[in-house]
A and B are shown apart, each in its own frame.
Chain A
């Protein structure tokens, strides 16, 4: 079983829609959870990270962690065409927090 699972999509939505991106993970000891955004032919860039359970909001983006279900989500409100990218969840698997295991990524397309 992979440590982090993610639906590859693609997910196509109209501009202005609320987008929900999700990952499941296998190890209940994981504490930090990250979301990276990757534009086509570019390297991933950190979008948000959360610690333990709960929500974290940053502008139109909300990251949510449900540790009881081992489920993490990224919500995008009022989605824009510029949000079209691949979104990868990532979890540090060592105590230093600098070795990441990634989900396979979900490709999002926001149509104007």
Chain B
């Protein structure tokens, strides 16, 4: 079955370190997204991509970057991790169809910055 996988599922890192969270989907979806989920804020969009070599900033993009070198992968990089980036991160993907198409989420990556 097609799926979307994230790794690592859990990570503890130190302030100032660079961290990369991987996201891989096997649906061949053009659209991929990274969200973070925090108590009191719900899910907030970090970055998104509509296809290879396309990346766009979302609502909370400061301190994060993404790259899209192929259809399947959208890695999220924290350039210099900060305690405010302790969160649960969800990758998602969807087809390039009209409104109402399903967005599929991965299982999440729990990141703690100490």
Show the binding face of A for B, using Cβ within 8 Å: 6, 8, 31-32, 41-46, 49, 51, 88, 92, 95-105
Chain B residues whose CB sits within 8 angstroms of the CB of A95 once the complex forms: 99
Query: 9 closest A-B pairs (Cβ-Cβ)?
Result: A97-B99, A43-B105, A104-B42, A102-B43, A32-B99, A102-B42, A98-B94, A98-B31, A46-B102
Among A43, A92, A102, contact of B108 (Cβ-Cβ < 8 Å): A43
18 A-B pairs whose Cβ atoms sit less than 8 Å apart in the complex: A8-B40, A42-B107, A43-B90, A43-B92, A43-B106, A45-B104, A45-B105, A49-B100, A51-B99, A88-B42, A88-B43, A92-B100, A98-B94, A98-B103, A99-B45, A100-B43, A104-B40, A104-B41
- The reply to whether B100 and A105 contact each other, CB–CB distance below 8 Å, is no
Enumerate chain A residues within 8 angstroms of B103, measured Cβ to Cβ: 46, 98, 100
Pairwise interchain contact B43-A32, C-beta atoms closer than 8 A: no
Residue B101 contacts which of A8, A45, A97 (CB distance < 8 angstroms)? A97
CB within 8 Å of A: which of B41-73? Answer: 41-45, 48
Instruction: Verify A92–B99 contact, CB threshold 8 A.
Output: yes
Residues of A contacting B: mostly = loop
Interface flag for B96 (CB, 8 Å): yes
B interface residues with partner A (beta carbon < 8 Å): 31, 33, 40-45, 48, 90, 92, 94, 96-108
CA separation between A98 and B99, bound complex, in Å? 7
Return chain A residues, CB-CB under 8 Å to B94: 98
Q: Is the CB of A41 within 8 A of B42?
A: no
Nearest CB of chain A from residue B19's CB, rounded to whole Å: 20
**What distance in Å separates the Cβ of A48 from its nearest Cβ neighbour in chain B?**
11
Distance in angstroms between the alpha carbons of A31 and B99 in the assembled complex: 9
Q: A42-B107, A43-B107 are in contact. Are A32 and B100 (CB under 8 A)?
A: yes
Give the interface centre of B31, B92, B94, B103 by most chain A CB atoms within 10 Å: B103
Distance between B73 CB and nearest chain A CB, rounded to angstroms: 17
> Complex formed: what's the CA distance from A46 to B100 in Å?
10
